[in-house]
Structure 1
Amino acid sequence: MEHTAQISNRGGRWRLYVALLGGPVSQWPEHDFGPTVTVPTVAERSRALTALGFMFTDGAEWEWTEYSETHGDDTSLVRLLASIRVRSRDGGTS
C-alpha cells in the first residue's frame, strides 16, 4: 500500500511524517530532525523513513510546494512542504 510522506519546517525544526489514511494524525509515524537552518538531505530523509519502516516507491521524487502561512495574505510568511510517495518496507499497511 502506498502512502504520502511529507517534510515541513515550523519554528526552525524540520519534521518528516507519513500520512496514514483512516487513522488519527496523532498516530502518524514521524521523525523530528531537530533545530537546523538547512533542509535535511535526501539521504537523511531516506534514513528517517527507513527507521519509520517505509521506503520510497520506484521512481518517486520529492515535490516541493510553497504556501502562505496566512491564506490570501501575500505579505505572510512563506512555508515549504515537500511530498513523496512511499510504501511500507515489509509490504504491509504500516
Structure 2
Amino acid sequence: MQEQFTAQMSMPGGRWRLYVVLMNTTVPWPEYRFGPTVPTLTERAEALNVLGFVPVPGAEWEWTEDSETHDDPASPVVLIAAIRLHAVRERVRR
C-alpha cells in the first residue's frame, strides 16, 4: 500500500494556497499558489500533479469552516479544504 498524505487548501492573504502536509521531515512542504478565485477541481488536480501527487481513489475535497480568532463568533471565517493523496513519484527522504 502506498503512503498517504493530506493536501490542504486555504486562502491566507487573499490568494488560495494548496500545500501537502509532510510529517516527520524537515523539508519544506510542497505548495502551489492560486489567485483570489476558488480554484476549480481541474486546476487543483493539475496543481497536485505538478507537485507530484494524485488523490487516492474515491477521495473528495472536504471543506471545513474555522475562524481567524479562536472562540470569537464575530471573527472572519476561514475555509479550509482537504483531500487524501498519494505520491506519483518519490518525494521525500525522511
Q: So what's the TM-score if we normalise by structure 1?
A: 0.90
Aligned runs of 1:6-85 on 2, under 5 Å?
6-24=8-26, 27-33=28-34, 35-36=35-36, 38-85=37-84
1:16 maps to a residue whose letter is: L
Length-normalised TM-score, structure 2:
0.90
Write the distance in 2 (CA, Å) between the matches of 1:39 and 1:58.
Answer: 23
Deviations 1:5-61 (A, max 9, x none): 00000111000000011124x61000011x32x210011000000000000100000
The code of the aligned residue for 1:29 comes to: P
Deviation at 1:93, TM superposition (A): 5.2
SS at match of 2:9: strand
Q: How many corresponding residue pairs?
A: 90
Q: Give the superposed CA RMSD.
A: 1.3
Kindly indicate which of the two structures has a greater share of residues assigned to strand: 1
- Identity %, equivalent residues: 52
Partners of 1:89 and 1:21 lie apart in 2 by 18
AA partner of residue 29 (structure 2): W
Structure 1: which 4+ aligned runs deviate by more than 3 Å? none
Residue ranges of structure 2 left out of the alignment (5+ in a row): none
- In structure 1, runs of 5+ residues without a counterpart are none
Partner residue, 1:88: 87
